[in-house]
Amino acid sequence: MNEEERVELAEILFPSIKTTRDEIEEKYPERSLEEGAKVTRFAPSPTGFMHVGNLESAFLDYIFANQSKGIFYLRFEDTDQERYVEGATDLIKSSLETFDILPTEGALNGGVYGPYVQSERKEIYQTYIKDLIIKGLAYPCFMTKEELQEIREGQELRKEAIGVYGPYAADRDLSLHEIKKHLDNGDEYVIRIKSPGEVNNTVTLHDLIKGDITMPENMIDEVIMKKDGLPTYHFAHVIDDHLMHTTVVIRGDEWVPSYPKHLQLCQILGFKVPKYAHYAPLTKKDEETGNVRKLSKRKDPEFSVEYYEKQGIPAEGVKLFLSTIVNTNFEEWYLQNTDKSYLDFNFSFKKMPTGGTLFDVEKLNNICRTYFSRESAEKIYDDSLPYFKKYDEEFYRVMTDNKDRLISFLDIERNGKRPRKDIATYKDVKTESIYMFDEYFFGDKEKTYSEIDKENVDIELLKKYLNVFDENDDNETWYSKIQVLAEENNYADILEIYVK
């Protein structure tokens, strides 16, 4: 097909597209940023609930953009309309707000590089596809599902690469006359790229986390536009990353095998290839089998982001925990820097694990205890109040009626060398303080002190304690008396002796 015929074909396929590629490019100029500033994007598909893997992805995009004084933006990749779930975009937005992982620009707050929803960018994608048709780099493919299935079955039988390529790309060289005949018949079609790949060629991914990975070059004539006129994910995200000037694509390592086709699309389109960082999946030791597996939506409640709010786990604690997963040296740094936030840490791709990362809930609880131990009693009270208002109205009323008393309780042993670490979740505010309130302490109205089981209570030791107890003592005086009492009654007077 000569150039004149390709231009005619492009007009037949895209009669409503009047913009040119150059006009699109002019609308998305280079960003004016400091040298070294990273532009990252969180680009979820609104196909379900928000899970902790999504949260980790957004967190990574946020911290690497933030510490480089760059841009972190939110983009919704919703070209797969069949899988779209109503309300999913609102859930993603609210989750980012809850965890204070807020984008610089994007679908949440707008920006000059929008629209940031792929279904609203159809004209942009079709402009590029029309340009590829004119240049002879893409073609309409009229193959039916049955024909494609027959090809696939034959390839599987012969143990060949699966896909439309070489001798299997039957429509690659159709004449303009043949294409018009298909169109006149109302035959459905997709648009495929004309891959220049060869079966024996390889490409190398210079991954920021995993290092160099060599893979076969893409030779498949990938679909870039579906029958509904919307682009495939592979094509759309390459266009968007180019126009929005993404510098680093941070994504799960399940996308590593897709790199050759994304690289090839960039090369065919003449785009600068962004850097890639593929992070390891979150894993867990299965309680039944003892084997390590990926976190599961079906088996693990902690897979859902909603789990953390319902359990009263603070958003800052979750981000601190994710920080320990992102960089192996973060936890030691955090323990040594009592006055620092995770935002003060210098995160590095080179310090990220290359294999699966164990998601340990107990470790999450421990780092939350450390987090709470550094917060003031007033802040813990204020932060936990919304949780109880939503999940425990009865205790919420107790909190509001006893604000000063509860803050005083939370302030006990908070300002010493070893601040208390009995609170890991907002729930623990109630668990640790509940005995102070009569409505809970005397919850069983029919039970009296005379019914308390005395067999397991050392009455004589209690009497000795009451003899030395003075409510006017300060902490140090009280503790000294307890040490003496413990030693006199054959108990360890310090923790080190007890541990031994």
Question: What's the pLDDT score for residue 476?
Answer: 84
User: Would the pTM of this model clear 0.75, i.e. be above it?
Assistant: yes
If one counts the domains in the chain, the total is 5
Residue type, 126: Q
pLDDT of residue 444: 55
Residues 292 and 368 in one domain: yes
What φ, ψ does residue 40 adopt, rounded to 5°? -120, 160
Angle 351-353-359 (CA atoms, 0-180°, nearest 5)? 125
Say which DSSP state 231 is in.
B
User: At 201, phi and psi to the nearest 5?
Assistant: -85, 155
Q: How far is Cα 45 from Cα 118, in angstroms, rounded to an integer?
A: 10
Is 447 part of any domain?
no
136 and 21 both lie in a single domain: yes
- Residue where one domain finishes, among candidates 68, 97, 120: 120
Residue from 357, 343, 330, 328 nearest 65 by CA:
343
Q: What is the pLDDT of residue 349?
A: 96
Domain-ending residue, one of 215, 249, 279: 279
Strand partners, 95: none
Closest CA to 220 of 158, 172, 150, 276: 172
490 CB burial (10 A radius; 0-12, 13-18, 19+): exposed
Cis bond upstream, residue 196 (ω within 30): no
| Residue 187's CATH number | 3.40.50.620
Burial per residue of 396-421, b for 16 or more beta-carbon CB atoms within 10 angstroms, e otherwise = bebbeeeeeebbeebeeeeeeeebee
- In this structure, the answer to whether residues 111 and 249 fall within a common structural domain is no
Q: Give the CA radius of gyration of the chain.
A: 31
15 alpha-carbon distance from chain centroid: 40
356 in the same domain as 225: no
Alpha-carbon gap, residue 144 to 184, rounded angstroms: 16
Nearest 5°: phi and psi at 49? -80, 165
In angstroms, the CA 466 to CA 488 distance is: 15
**Residue 448 domain flag:** no
- Look at residues 224, 232, 208, 250 and name the one whose alpha carbon lies nearest to residue 73: 250
- CB atoms under 10 Å from CB of 188, counted, come to 14
Does 63 fall in a domain?
yes
Using CA atoms, how far residue 458 sits from 464, 465, 479, in Å, is 10, 11, 20
Cα separation, 275 vs 241, in Å, equals 11
Q: Which CATH number belongs to the domain containing residue 333 in this structure?
A: 1.10.1160.10
Residue 86 within any structural domain of the chain: yes
- Whether 345 and 402 share a structural domain: no
Within this chain, do residues 97 and 172 fall inside the same structural domain, yes or no? Answer: no
Cite the DSSP H helix spans in 28-171. 52-67, 88-98, 122-134, 145-157
Contact present, 279 and 250 (Cβ < 8 Å): yes
DSSP character string of 281-314:
PEEEE-TTT--EEE--TTT-GGGBTHHHHHTT--
Per-residue pLDDT at 446: 54
Q: In this structure, are 168 and 112 located in the same domain?
A: no
**Domain's final residue, options 353, 373, 393:** 373
Residues 423 and 315 in one domain: no
**446 within some domain:** no
Residue 261's Cβ-side half-sphere holds a number of Cα atoms within 13 Å equal to 20
User: How far apart are the C-alpha atoms of 116 and 110, rounded to whole Å?
Assistant: 8
Whole-angstrom CA distances from 20 to 27, 196, 260, 265, 408 are: 11, 24, 27, 19, 68
The stretches in the chain having pLDDT less than 70 are 442-457, 498-500
- Shared-domain flag, residues 127 and 114: no
Clarify whether residues 425 and 356 are in a common domain. Answer: no
List, in order, residues 6 or more apart from 204 with CB less than 8 Å away. Answer: 212, 213, 214, 215
Q: Which domain holds residue 490?
A: 453-499
Does a structural domain hold residue 396? yes
48 in a structural domain: yes
Same-domain pairing of 76 and 222: no
Domain-embedded: residue 178: yes
Rounded Cα gap, residues 114 and 188, in angstroms: 31
pLDDT of residue 450: 55
Q: Do 135 and 216 belong together in one domain?
A: yes
CB atoms within 10 A of CB 114: 16
